Structure 1
Amino acid sequence: MTSIDLFDTPWFFFQSLSGPEYNIGIPEITLDLFKQAVLPSVEESSVEKAYQKLRERGILIDEGWKELNFGVVEQEQEEEEEEEEELKVEVQKKESLFYFDGLNSVMGADSAVKFSNNPDKHMLFEGDHSHYKANINGLLTKTTAVFPIAEGEEYECDVFMTGELKKKSTPDTVDDNNKKVLSNAAHIMGADPTRRFMFGLTIDKFNVRLWFFSRSHVFVTEAMNLHNAEPVGRS
């Protein structure tokens, strides 16, 4: 893993975990440094091929992500009826499935990883570590769960990436995303003492961040705008 000089690196702090009793900050790095540190090298031709497929499928339009207009009007509406909020949650799930199903199709049938098609569903667990749930889950295609295995089910032990998604971008929603992704990563890492690392993803409105968690390091990328597909799509 590429060495990261923490003394010269900006730190990402939690709004709700500030004050004299807390000292919680996470190194915030550029996408380029994140790629150098923890992501495998990918040929430019492979990236361009995937990029082209996303455009052909209508997921990328005018170099931006199609219809990713999370709550532009609703941003100013602080109080909403419960039924309307439930409907928006369902719309949000369908929107996220549209993008992740598209990414699954780009990765192909032989890919070692996939994105879950069951957002916000409790996954099956092994042992006493239960109740893990996340908006976004990246999973191993071939399960590592012990037999007997329930056909068609998804298991916590196969999660390599956990993510949280919010339609609005406010200090509170960003903070909630951050706390949940950290909590879920701690849960997954704690449930399997042999796990060495995992990834995270947070999206608030148009902003996306990539996270890395290991036994010794935690760091996060600077926020990237999903309406500018180039840097995100080539990550």
Structure 2
Amino acid sequence: MTVAAYSSEIGNPITDDIKKISLLKQNIPKDYKITLRYIPKEVSGMCWVKLNVFHLEVSLKGLAQKFGNISSNKDNIGTLVQILQEMRYHIGHGLEDSMLEFDCHYVNEMWLTAKYFEFVEDFFNTANSSRDVEDCEPPPCPTSTKTTVMTTTTPSTLSAQHSTNEKRNGLPDDPEKGAFLPKVVQSSLMSLLAILFIAVVVFLMVWKIKSRRNTPQTERSPEEGPALFSGEEANIPPLDVEISEKNRLNIILAV
């Protein structure tokens, strides 16, 4: 039974329905994304219309809810939904069983306005020209792709692994870490040598200052020449004092 037969019961010729699809394509923004769950033609074959009727109805209902009650877009979408509901009624209860058999072949997509309504228009044109098929043989389900399990490592787990490897092997786990150790040792040795050099310089300066303080004050410079008296000779009284004492004794004896 064709779409024209379905739509005749509610008084809408098929040609008018296709025109409404074109109006919807023009009125809805081009960058609008519409969700749809469907089965490609190459998978479902002659059962393509039958297997897509329910999910297309669900998609159009969700799209109609985005418009106001007085919107012409909502009215046009409502007409298409009524046709799809009538199609499901004529297909009968076998639709659910067929959908379950093809369940692994359904695809979820979000299409822009133009591509979405191209699919809708293709659906109604195919439904109008095709015949009902009762038995639908599903192809084998696609092989599930192997999911690679990604193990998340935290810094704590990495440090624990590195320490374990170092305890077992006595060597760092990371090659870059092993190359980094000599640089650390070299920099520490250079710092130690610099500290020792500064300590030696300070020690020499202190020793020189102390040695200058301990030098005797009687030491004369070479420019002043040798000292006239040294030792006990420096304490001998002057000669004129001795002469005056002798004169005094002579005077006393003469008296």
Q: Same fold (TM over 0.5)?
A: no
Q: Which TM-score bucket, shorter chain as reference?
A: under 0.3
Select the structure of larger CA radius of gyration. 2
Under a length normalisation based on structure 1, what TM-score does the superposition of the two structures give?
0.25
Under a length normalisation based on structure 2, what TM-score does the superposition of the two structures give?
0.24
